[in-house]
Copies of this chain bind each other. A is one copy, B any other.
């Protein structure tokens, strides 16, 4: 599987992380990645931040290792891009890629998530 290891913003000496190329991203995989409340939360937070966020900046009610797991699922399925900056691991939504492949999808999912959380009175 061809990988995109040179991520813009990555520090040269950093370890490389495997990402699927744009044309390898599959709809079912993306939906699967989004079909978990914890990961949906990550994606929403990332979208609201409109930029790159440290892993630790996104508070989740799970252990560190579970956290790593969810971020990896999102990355390996093409939803986010990750790269190291010092000891920190930065995360960014692959907005452009997803928008090109599945126009409007991510926006609608984010909007639906927002609508639902309002409806359920969770905030």
Q: Taking beta carbons and an 8 Å cutoff, which residues of A are in contact with B?
A: 23, 26-29, 31-32, 34-37, 40, 101-105, 108-109, 111-113, 115-116, 119
Chain copies in the assembly?
A: 2
Q: How far is the CA of A108 from the CA of B103 in the complex (A)?
A: 7
Q: How far is the CA of A81 from the CA of B107 in the complex (A)?
A: 26
Of the candidates B23, B32, B112, which one forms a contact with A103 in the assembled complex, judged by CB atoms under 8 Å apart?
A: B112
A34 to B37, Cβ gap below 8 A?
Answer: no
Of A27, A36, A37, A102, most buried by chain B (CB within 10 Å of CB) is A27
Q: Take A28-B35, A40-B27 as given contacts and tell me if A108 and B112 are in contact as well, using a CB distance cutoff of 8 Å.
A: no
- Looking at the assembled complex, report how far the CB atom of A34 sits from the nearest CB atom of chain B, in whole angstroms: 5
Residues on B with beta carbons closer than 8 Å to the beta carbon of A36: 28
A116 to B27, Cβ gap below 8 A?
Answer: yes
Q: How far is the CA of A119 from the CA of B103 in the complex (A)?
A: 14
- Looking at the assembled complex, report how far the CB atom of A120 sits from the nearest CB atom of chain B, in whole angstroms: 9
